[in-house]
């Protein structure tokens, strides 16, 4: 098995469940089922509304429902632990892939790169037009938009990194990037593969519904991140 696609979700409303189903639908539609396994990490959170697949049309090989919800970082690590693939593709449930996405990323992993971040949209029209002008491959590869909605990493590099740190809540990726920057991991940000990401929907909801809790989590993460090594 080359690829394990790990979808993490927080289904705390009917809308969130429908977004998750749309994410899974795009992966199922635009990916050869023989090329990957799909692991859905779907924690039993407050107001839990699980996605539905009444007609069994979605490809879900493993459906993990940790209870209670251990947090985003722990869910990512759980999905990685259960994965059998040589390459791990982490997808948040509000990210929507395009046709050819898996092969477009896999070719980097199979040709010497350990960590790949594809480009996300929406961008401004000016940004897209500028990117489209970059028809020279090496230069264009340097102009992706690093984002946590979707990234891919080799199993070897993931194990070397130690995975996500569950001590963090909102600054998980920032801490992760800081650690892997000190490792012998070859990474690339690309714009040759794009996907649509609703971007920080859960964080924005927390900011609106419980700003005090958002501030508490952000402050806690920042304090840990800024500790002297």
The pTM for the full model equals: 0.86
Dist. CA 169–CA 165, nearest whole Å: 9
Count of CA atoms in the C-beta half-sphere (13 A) of 162: 13
* pLDDT of res. 77: 97
Residue 198 is predicted with a pLDDT of 77
Within 8 A by CB and 6+ apart from 97, the residues are 26, 27, 30, 31, 91, 150, 195
pLDDT in tens, 141-191: 444 445 678 999 999 999 999 999 999 888 888 888 888 888 889 998 887
Of 214 and 141, the structure prediction assigns the larger pLDDT to 214
Q: Is the pLDDT of residue 140 over 80?
A: no
Which tokens in the block code for residue 162?
């130690």
Q: Which domains does the chain have, with CATH numbers?
A: 3-199 (3.90.550.10)
- The average pLDDT across 17-31 equals 95
Helices (H), 67-200: 72-82, 101-109, 125-133, 137-140, 155-161, 172-180
* pLDDT at position 224 over 70: yes
Note the pLDDT of residue 173: 85
Longest pairwise C-alpha distance within the chain: 53
pLDDT value at residue 129: 61
Helix (H, G, I), strand (E, B) or coil at 222: helix
Per-residue pLDDT, 91: 96
Rounded mean pLDDT, 36-60: 94
Query: Hey, CA dihedral for 44, 50, 54, 57, is it positive or negative?
Result: negative
Name the least confident of 14-23, 123-132, 207-216, 219-228: 123-132
Return the pLDDT at 87. Answer: 98
As a whole number, mean pLDDT of residues 68-82 equals 96
Give the whole-angstrom CA distance, residue 113 versus residue 87: 11
CA distance 62 to 126: 41
């Amino acid at each position: 098995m080359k690829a394990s696609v790990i979808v993490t979700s927080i289904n705390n409303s009917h809308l969130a469940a429908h977004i998750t189903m749309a994410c899974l639908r795009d992966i199922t539609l635009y990916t050869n089922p023989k090329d990957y396994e799909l692991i859905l990490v779907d924690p039993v959170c407050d107001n839990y509304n699980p996605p539905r697949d009444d007609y069994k049309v979605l490809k879900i090989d493993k459906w993990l429902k940790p209870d209670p919800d251990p947090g985003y970082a722990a869910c990512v690590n759980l999905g990685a632990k259960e994965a059998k693939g040589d390459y791990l593709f982490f997808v948040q449930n509000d990210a929507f892939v395009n046709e050819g996405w898996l092969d477009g990323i896999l070719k980097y992993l199979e040709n010497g790169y350990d960590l790949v971040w594809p480009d996300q949209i929406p961008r401004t029209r000016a940004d897209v037009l500028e990117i489209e002008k970059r028809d020279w491959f090496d230069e264009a590869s340097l102009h992706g938009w690093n984002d946590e909605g979707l990234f891919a990493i080799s199993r070897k590099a993931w194990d070397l990194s130690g995975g996500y740190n569950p001590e963090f809540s909102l600054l998980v990726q920032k801490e992760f990037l800081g650690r892997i920057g000190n490792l012998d991991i070859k990474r690339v940000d690309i714009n040759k593969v794009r996907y649509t990401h609703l971007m920080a929907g859960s964080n924005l909801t927390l900011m609106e519904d419980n700003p005090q809790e958002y501030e508490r989590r952000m402050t806690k993460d920042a304090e840990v991140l800024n500790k002297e090594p």
